[in-house]
Structure 1
């Protein structure tokens, strides 16, 4: 056992004495030590119930012959961090989660791990750590929130943000806004649409690192606790068979996840996280690599905010495995990839049934023949940008309009709510990238303000910050190179004509090469808004661009 390095032999008697101090019996010390990485805290709605999931995992591990040991991971709630400096700390927390999990697991020589994430950055952070540590590991999330209900309609967090915009525009009264506030988020769990957390929890199944239902069983269902117990049983089986994350997370399983991403219409943040996870197994790809996958993968689901279905309905329809079963009909899934269950993906999805062809469209009748995400390039984004194509109104798939340029999110929101943005405009928000933010804030507030003002189908938004699954409309983010390193987005001037062509995957500004070169010659870098602390160190270390804000830290293998 790996843990014998810490606890076996006379020379490790001091370590055993410390384990005695923890209350471990000799029998427990002799068993495999299984680390349970829990994101439990009392500030994140998706994590408030993870203590119950941890307890269930502990029971499963103990019943299967292991000794469970819980240790914590941090988590940031993007919704609570939105609209202030806190959002600058959201993306960077992913790397803190990965690094601290690595430190704990290796320092204490665990034989296996069960990872319990739920919200946006905990899932990719823990998956990155799993690949890096490479000891037998199972991921079991806390599960999605149930959809809210406001005046007879299902709602979610994005409905809440848009309600605020509608109220500011005088299109919704205070009483209705109060109904949204009290009805949009009715239970614990990750927010109920296909936002980043649920996207990554679903893709964990596609990667093979989570058991069936990991991404879709609601947080408040008893079946979620049963899943957690099975995760405890499963990790012990993996320890006995010495099956490790890099046996499961391979190039082909990453491609499976990318394919499922396109079929589900996942968050654009998956284009930050999948490359970062792939980087940990030595598989590096530019995000433009997603386009060939998207071109051949039908979009089978329109989950909120792209449509009116919620994760609970995806679960009832057959979940991620039913989606993969549909995709396999077209030969789009690498079926020989291994999963934590011990089965291959092909074996695991063989019995999956699509129980609701409206929630999960059959491959013969997709919402669209192309996937939910697209990577646009052009003279405004030579290294790429990302749009959630499945959430764009048909009339905005091609759009041309004058640039309205802002150097931060706050200034853009003031202009939108102040009625200074009109139909046809292209809002450009820059200096919000990994270095420029620093921290690459999520631009949900501006997109929600645009939607709330009734401009969601006539105004586009482009940023070197990021968007999430909650964004809809012609919202193009992750523009690279970012403004802080002198990317073309830094050189856009008020009134420049921006050309968006999503079917052709192009994003251009109608300015000559010579004019852009002249502007570049006169461009001066901006002083970063945060100059001390972890965020400043992150900005100094981060690789700007499309590789998922992967940190290049000297000495890391």
Structure 2
């Protein structure tokens, strides 16, 4: 007996008004009558000509459409916002970057849920697109495959390798007078030789690999060089497989389980991935209605997972080396004793089944679990009197720099004020630079503090000055002692708001603590005179985001708080 075909939600009742007007629209688009009842697949294209990260996505769509049609589906391209950290960060001190993730998620919901399409293939590129696509998959719970569309080829300048990370870092040296503007321009002009995301293990490649570890991308497809034969093969495979997924009915919430998130966190720790993966994975779990504490998983697994990769900016190897060694699949195959191998994947089998036969082409790039680069965690969740709800520290693979930093606070209300203070010579060795008002509410939108980190490094203060902020860091930041995403943030009355110049702050990475050494009665008196923070104009997208965003440990997702109610400090922590 044959199984009857699974009913498609896109097939509206024949003769109804919605069916009739949809038919009129689609027939006018040239869709033949015989295609009207086939599986209808959204191609989610976060494309833009503003940034090289996205410049090749429009060219991918035709090949994907062809593969979907050949498999018996009908493709529909839909567009979303396409933020680039290096382009979109120019406005409002980078405050649009994190909120763009949730904007993309809602874009997808409006287009795909509104049209009642049957499945999605999403084209992931720069940092916020992959988590947004995963969030939309979890929310809509229709068959979905995320396609990582690749990293950009790097260049060379004056006989030395140069990529976007090195340009980002070098700008701090120019500001400090340690590099000429001409040299910086030469680096910038040669750093990128083609389309794709940053060519290091920043947030983009991190989240592409996280998609594979979660089972939401086809196994063996990340990381990948943009426009390479391997990328095109992955695109065509995804087009064929998504139609099968719709027929089979495998939904994201069957894939995005607690075991899948545990696997993803294990991969993040084993590769010293971007710290931004913490809040992004938590946001995905929220949308998928999966009751998992991602920051808690990072804290729990930090000392158990060996470091198997040292890819730039964390170590000597390039992202190309990781791809040649076997990519995320190779790393996962070295971690099988620590993974939940029974979780399902969009490939159709379990993780254990799809990892069977995986090989590591270069055991120096992807090391065996018993021969790691190190056992000291590079992604560390810290807590203490300055961050009762938690904060995150990223340590270099080689563990250079102090694991304990004790110094006196120097406070600034914004990134630009801190940069000005540094340029004016106000920042001295032994300082703990406190930059606040950058959180999801205070920003609003969690402004980027990376420019301060690189300015400190460029000024030769990277190892002698620490930074503590409620803002976020670029996934490429991996220098000095930096405590980011302090929770509760200053704008919600967290202890960070109470710090004054000269206060003693102690950061102890080994003990996982960050403490403000000021008596409680003094802090209480400061709180009494603090007053409400200035939160900026009450209009526009960032204002709406500020009113709806949840605390960072919850993924910084959009929720609906009770009118007039401010979260308590306890609610801002896990």
Normalised-by-shorter TM-score class: over 0.9
SS at match of 1:296: coil
Tell me the equivalent position of 1:59.
Answer: 66
Paired residue for 1:199?
206
Tell me, yes or no, if structure 1 residue 337 matches structure 2 residue 335. Answer: no
CA drift of 1:288 comes to 3.6
Equivalent of residue 558 in structure 2, options 548, 551, 554: 551
- Identify the match of residue 114 of structure 1 among 116, 121, 125: 121
Residue 484 in 1 paired to residue 491 in 2?
Answer: yes
Kept in 2, the 8 Å contact 1:296–1:370? The answer is no
2:238 paired with 1:231: yes
Give the Cα–Cα distance (whole angstroms) in 1 for the partners of residues 376 and 14 of structure 2: 59
Is the Cα contact below 8 Å between 1:496 and 1:509 reproduced in 2?
A: yes
CA shift, 1:4, in A, is: 5.1
Q: Distance in 2 between matches of 1:492 and 1:423?
A: 19
Following superposition, the deviation at residue 499 of structure 1 comes to: 0.7
Aligned to 1:539: 546
Q: Which residue of 1 aligns with 2:571?
A: none
The answer to whether the Cα contact below 8 Å between 1:403 and 1:426 also exists between their aligned partners in 2 is: yes
* 1:270 matches 2:277: yes
- For residue 508 of structure 1, give the secondary structure of its aligned residue in structure 2: strand
SS of aligned partner of 1:235: helix
- Residues of 2 paired with 1:312 and 1:26: CA distance? 46
Alignment partner of 1:527 out of 505, 528, 534: 534
How far apart are 1:545 and its partner, in Å? 3.9
Query: What does 1:94-109 correspond to in 2, within 5 Å?
Result: 94-109=101-116
> Partner of 2:525 in structure 1?
518
Unaligned 5+ runs, structure 2:
1-5, 563-574
Q: For residues 413-449 of structure 1, what are the alpha-carbon distances to aligned partners after superposition, in whole Å with 9 as ceiling and x for unaligned?
A: 1122333322222111000000001110121111111
Match of 1:408 in 2: 414
What is the TM-score of this pair, normalised by structure 2?
Answer: 0.93
The farther-off stretch of 341-350 and 476-485 is 341-350
Task: Using the TM superposition, name which of 295-304 and 391-400 deviates more.
Answer: 391-400
Deviations 1:297-320 (A, max 9, x none): 112122221223222211011100
2:28 maps to 21
Cα deviations across residues 348-371 of structure 1 (Å, max 9, x unaligned)? 122222222232222112122143
Look up the match of 2:261. 254
2:570 equivalent in structure 1: none
User: 1:276, 1:547 within 8 Å by CA — same for their partners in 2?
Assistant: yes
* Contact kept? 1:438, 1:530, Cα under 8 Å: no
Aligned residue for 2:419, secondary structure, equals helix
Aligned mate of 1:9, from 14, 19, 26: 14
* Counterpart check, 1:419 vs 2:425: yes
- SS of alignment partner, residue 45 of structure 1: coil
Match of 1:262, SS state, is helix
Deviation at 1:30, TM superposition (A): 2.3
Aligned equivalent of 1:190 = 197
Is the contact made by 1:2 and 1:109 (CA closer than 8 Å) also made in structure 2? Answer: no
1:6 is displaced (CA, Å) by 4.6
2:366 maps to 1:360:
yes
Cα deviation, residue 286, structure 1? 6.0
Q: Distance in 2 between matches of 1:335 and 1:400?
A: 43
- Helix, strand or coil at the partner of 1:140: strand
Aligned residue for 2:96, secondary structure, equals helix
Distance 1:392 1:518 in 2: 43
Tell me if the contact between 2:10 and 2:40 (Cα under 8 Å) persists in the aligned partners: no
1:173 maps to 2:180: yes
Q: Is 1:295 aligned with 2:303? A: yes
1:461 equivalenced with 2:472 (yes/no): no
**Structure 1 equivalent of residue 52 of structure 2:** 45
Q: Give yes or no for the alignment of 1:434 onto 2:440.
A: yes
Q: Select the residue among 433, 443, 448 that pairs with 2:449.
A: 443
* Alpha-carbon shift at residue 35 of structure 1 (Å): 0.8
Asked if residue 322 in structure 1 is aligned to residue 324 in structure 2, the reply is no
Deviation at 1:84, TM superposition (A): 4.0
2:375 corresponds to: 369
C-alpha separation in 1, matches of 2:169 and 2:225: 24
> 1:44: how far off?
2.3
- Are residues 446 and 44 of structure 1, via their aligned partners in 2, closer, same or farther at CA, if it must alter by over 3 Å? same
Cα distance in 2 for partners of 1:78, 1:2 equals: 41
2:96 corresponds to 1:89: yes
Write out per-residue CA displacement over residues 321-376 of structure 1, whole angstroms, 9 at most, x where no aligned residue. 11111111xx2111111111112111112222222223222211212214331100
- 2:396 partner SS: helix
When residues 158 and 419 of structure 1 are mapped into structure 2, their CA distance, relative to the original with a 3 A threshold, is: farther
Q: Do residues 386 (structure 1) and 392 (structure 2) align?
A: yes
Measured after TM superposition, the shift of residue 456 of structure 1 is 1.8
Using the alignment, how far apart are the partners of 1:487 and 1:554 within structure 2? Answer: 19
Deviates more, 1:535-544 or 1:13-22: 13-22
Relative to structure 1, the CA distance from residue 531 to residue 388 in structure 2 (aligned partners, 3 Å threshold; closer, same or farther) is same
Distance, in Å, in 2 between the alignment partners of 1:332 and 1:118 is 29
Q: Is the 8 A contact 1:3 1:108 kept in 2?
A: no
Partners of 2:454 and 2:436 lie apart in 1 by 18
Contact 2:151/2:199, CA 8 A, preserved across alignment: yes
TM-score by length of 1: 0.96
- Does the aligned pair in 2 maintain the 1:82–1:445 contact within 8 Å? no
Q: Which moves more between the two structures, 387-396 or 179-188? A: 387-396
